[in-house]
A and B are shown apart, each in its own frame.
Chain A
């Protein structure tokens, strides 16, 4: 069987993005399961010590294309380098971060190679498949598991016939783990100039500026919202801590915004944003009608409140009687303990 490849995204600081290191960690485990090698693809310019950074994640080979025209990222040159490499190396599995780069690049590559690609996987496993129609048994396929249909179903996708089997994964889904600090692989330098053509530079960057990301609670699948009952700006930090590990956003009631605990952009309700997440955790929110109008379509609602008679408890699936300062640290602790 051929090897597992991870596209390593180069950051603004010319290091490797966390999501890529997470994928290398997952890729190493899959490689051990399949008894194959793990290979990293780095495309950029003057990347800071790729060997020292990547080998400890169990990388056997780094394919490195270093050329000034390859940084910052543009679609066509990176696609050209990858296609050239994959036609020679024929990977079994390729993983990309589901970032604005990975989600731009991976489908273009998949189309050129005519292989399957699954976006935003939340879990990757190795397993077999028996195709009833053709009575064919497939061994050691990549199970690409992802939510679909607006998060209402979980699908397991496979690519029985085509290679590579490709998937993108969001940041924070896999765990970043050093494999062995002493691990050593080898470096394969790619001569980008021999691959790139003038046509690959049809798109040029005129201007870039980095900003803090705008608050966007509307599109979040999980929202941790706080009300006046959270008590202080300091206590709100607990909500941000929980939100970070769950990949969630922090929302708030009008009373919490008026009290100056958080920004107005986070306000949920009639005069704020209307949200429909999969999970809404209401912390110290009594549940005035105006607030409920903005969140009562949430699929699951958990209410954390010291008052067992708070109106929000009437629409909650779970009611936890207790203070935010007591309950949230426990939720963080038991999420970490029980998640992969």
Chain B
């Protein structure tokens, strides 16, 4: 039997590169200036999965992501680096999902891929930093979770030993399988694209992407069916509509305020108590500190 590893990943706006140019004059985020990237910690997760595949030839790595059509980019990226297959969960009904609704959809997709042995994701995504989707998906699957993983020390068909990196030290744990692991950024970086795989998978497309292509891929896909990236809708997952998207999300955003970063001429202050108190008040009220 195959040893099936499912990697959960997310395409995110690159919030780390919010430099001065990525903010508009009114201080709001210029989303268009932010590239969409493979969530960095999910790449660490992919590396963990691929390094298992290096050691166990009968292991397979499947990338699962939820998002708009464009999110297929990270499935191809994973294929170039060594993933065997990918699935895109996509449906307007998922729009507005919080972490609970997201973990519900992801857990249904993981169940559809059963029997599986291991689910691996990054600890958190840089656009939200919540670190909630991993544990919530594990709970919905009814399997144990190992968060803050740094290294998989050993693995067999029934159990896994993992080193966790915590705030104040290191913990080594043993878990039964299947289990869900979330990987820290202290784990090894992901390997780069492999030239041969890039050639093999560069025409991989979802059904929606194929419809938008001007070129006819029919013949190529008859020859190489592995190029098709399957898309799963809410219906494919047999999801209850009330558990999806906004209606399945207990958290609501009441208000959003932009943190205003304007690069102006340097303000010259003296070392007087008055100047320094005023500066500290400005920093606190603009949420930069405090």
* Known contacts A300-B288, A321-B270; is-contact A279 B283 (Cβ 8 Å): yes
Residue among B29, B134, B166, B249 with the most chain A CB within 10 A?
A: B166
| Least distance between B64 CB and chain A CB atoms (Å) | 18
* Known contacts A114-B250, A335-B289; is-contact A320 B255 (Cβ 8 Å): no
Residue among B169, B271, B276, B277 with the most chain A CB within 10 A?
A: B276
Q: Which residue of A119, A149, A204 contacts B127 across the interface (Cβ within 8 Å)?
A: A149
User: Which applies to chain B's interface (DSSP): helix, strand, loop or mixed?
Assistant: mixed
Is the CB of B147 closer than 8 A to any CB of chain A? yes
Contact with B along A298-310 (1 / 0, CB 8 A): 0110110000100
Is the CB of A37 closer than 8 A to any CB of chain B? no
Contact with B along A58-89 (1 / 0, CB 8 A): 00000000000000001110010000000000
Question: Chain A contacts of B29 at CB under 8 A?
Answer: 149, 152-153
User: Which applies to chain A's interface (DSSP): helix, strand, loop or mixed?
Assistant: mixed
Q: Which chain B residues in 256-290 approach chain A with CB under 8 Å?
A: 256-259, 261, 263-264, 266-271, 273, 275-277, 279-281, 283-284, 287-290
Question: Chain A contacts of B78 at CB under 8 A?
Answer: none
Verify A205–B172 contact, CB threshold 8 A: yes
- For A204, give the chain B residue with the smallest CB separation: B174
Q: Which residue of A110, A153, A319, A334 contacts B257 across the interface (Cβ within 8 Å)?
A: A153
Verify A205–B171 contact, CB threshold 8 A: yes
| Least distance between B246 CB and chain A CB atoms (Å) | 10
* Cα of A317 to Cα of B266 in the assembled complex, Å: 4
Verify B266–A103 contact, CB threshold 8 A: no
* Cα of A106 to Cα of B140 in the assembled complex, Å: 14
Question: Chain A contacts of B140 at CB under 8 A?
Answer: 111
Stretch binding the partner chain, chosen from B55-63, B98-106, B109-117: B98-106
Interface range, B side: 35 or more
Verify B289–A246 contact, CB threshold 8 A: yes
Q: Which residue of B134, B257, B259, B268 contacts A151 across the interface (Cβ within 8 Å)?
A: B259
* Cα of A207 to Cα of B163 in the assembled complex, Å: 9
Contact with B along A86-112 (1 / 0, CB 8 A): 000000000000011001101110111
* Known contacts A202-B176, A208-B169, A320-B275; is-contact A110 B259 (Cβ 8 Å): no
| Least distance between B6 CB and chain A CB atoms (Å) | 18
Verify B261–A299 contact, CB threshold 8 A: yes
* Cα of A313 to Cα of B265 in the assembled complex, Å: 10
Is the CB of A159 closer than 8 A to any CB of chain B? yes
Question: Chain B contacts of A108 at CB under 8 A?
Answer: 135-136, 138-139, 145
Q: Which chain A residues in 96-141 approach chain B with CB under 8 Å?
A: 99-100, 103-104, 106-108, 110-112, 114-120, 122, 129
B interface with A by C-beta (< 8 Å): 13, 15-20, 23, 29, 98-100, 103, 126-136, 138-140, 144-148, 161, 166-176, 179, 185, 249-259, 261, 263-264, 266-271, 273, 275-277, 279-281, 283-284, 287-290
A interface with B by C-beta (< 8 Å): 12, 74-76, 79, 99-100, 103-104, 106-108, 110-112, 114-120, 122, 129, 143-144, 147-162, 202-211, 213, 219, 222, 246, 248, 276, 278-279, 297, 299-300, 302-303, 308, 313-314, 316-323, 326-327, 330-331, 334-335, 337-340
24 A-B contact pairs sorted by A residue (CB < 8 Å): A99-B167, A107-B135, A107-B136, A110-B132, A114-B100, A116-B98, A119-B132, A147-B259, A148-B128, A150-B15, A150-B18, A152-B23, A153-B29, A154-B259, A203-B144, A205-B172, A209-B169, A246-B290, A299-B20, A319-B267, A322-B270, A334-B277, A338-B277, A339-B284
